[in-house]
Amino acid sequence: MTNGGQVFLLDSPITAKREVARDMFVLAVRAPEIAASVRAGQFVNIGWFSGPLLRRPFSVYREDGENIEIILKAVGEGTSQLLAMKPGDRLSCLGPLGHGFGLEAGPRRAVLISGGLGVAPMPLAAGEATKLGIHVTWVHGARSSDELCTESQGHEVVWATDDGSKGFAGTAVAAAPDADVVLACGPNRMLAAVADRWPEARVAVETYMGCGTGVCLGCAVPLKRGGYDRACKEGPVYRAADIDWPSLPSHLPYAVTA
């Protein structure tokens, strides 16, 4: 799952903003070098003038050659400031960072499972899989229909809501069919359920992060074989069975149950 590519530090203007679910927004920023090299599951670490001391990590949601997009909700000071910004305001974008899903040709069917804001790496993953000739089913889960991101990609889309207000009544994991390759992103409790059902699944994990570049050890992921990895360097995508799930904090603010 290596990137092996260059990391860019770019001064990137915001170029667009749209709402894709209740309080969930996509920001586009001009970052051509990152757009040209990013792989699904990689992230950017974003800072801005008068922002928090530490950059904030976000998966790359889409790219169009010139721009990359990120998707977010306001969950704290940093995300609230980002969502108060306007097109033309500038961000400092460091990336692409980490190891992505590492999709390769071969598998016939992939299922993408997202819970809440776990949609973030999935459009890039759906695009890469489709280009490789893989049939993509994307299972989109959230607590209720108004929290479901309205955007989707792939050959088939399955909707799942905890309250039954759209699609399957229950979790995205319960709604998902089996496939040759399973990719997942969402709250850690959801990913632990993915690991129980598909130990070989590739899961994009979110932890607290400091530097995003392997230096501060702020992003430790406990491993089943013992010891820790750095989510920003060895991750954020892992083989589901490799993570010691009970030791990984379920601190994410994402709204979806396991």
Ligand X SMILES: Cc1cc2nc3c(=O)[nH]c(=O)nc-3n(C[C@H](O)[C@H](O)[C@H](O)COP(=O)(O)OP(=O)(O)OC[C@H]3O[C@@H](n4cnc5c(N)ncnc54)[C@H](O)[C@@H]3O)c2cc1C
Residues in contact with ligand FES by CB under 6 A are: 209-212, 214-219, 230, 232
CB of 71 to ligand X, least distance (A): 5
CB of 11 to ligand FES, least distance (A): 22
Residues with Cβ within 8 Å of 206's Cβ and at least 6 positions away in sequence, in order, are 57, 188, 231, 236, 252
- Is residue 71 near ligand X by the rule CB under 6 A? yes
Direct distance between the N- and C-terminal alpha carbons of the chain, in angstroms, rounded to an integer: 26
Which residue, 16 or 216, is less far from ligand FES as judged by CB? Answer: 216
Asked if 87 touches ligand X (CB under 6 A), the answer is: no
Residue 210 CB, shortest distance to ligand FES, in Å, is: 4
For the record, the structure tokens of 228 come out as 């820790």
Which region, judged by CB under 6 A, interacts with ligand X, from 101-109, 187-195, 203-211, 221-229?
203-211
Half-sphere exposure of 173 (CA within 13 A, CB side): 20
Q: Measuring CA to CA, how many Å separate 216 from each of 161, 204, 210, 226, 234?
A: 37, 20, 6, 20, 14
* Binding characters for ligand X, 95-114, by CB under 6 A (x = yes): --------------------
Residue 230, binding choice from ligand X, ligand FES, none, Cβ under 5 to 8 Å by partner class: ligand FES
Which residues here bind ligand X, judged by CB under 6 A?
Answer: 43, 52, 56-59, 70-73, 75-79, 117, 120, 206-209, 231, 236, 251-253
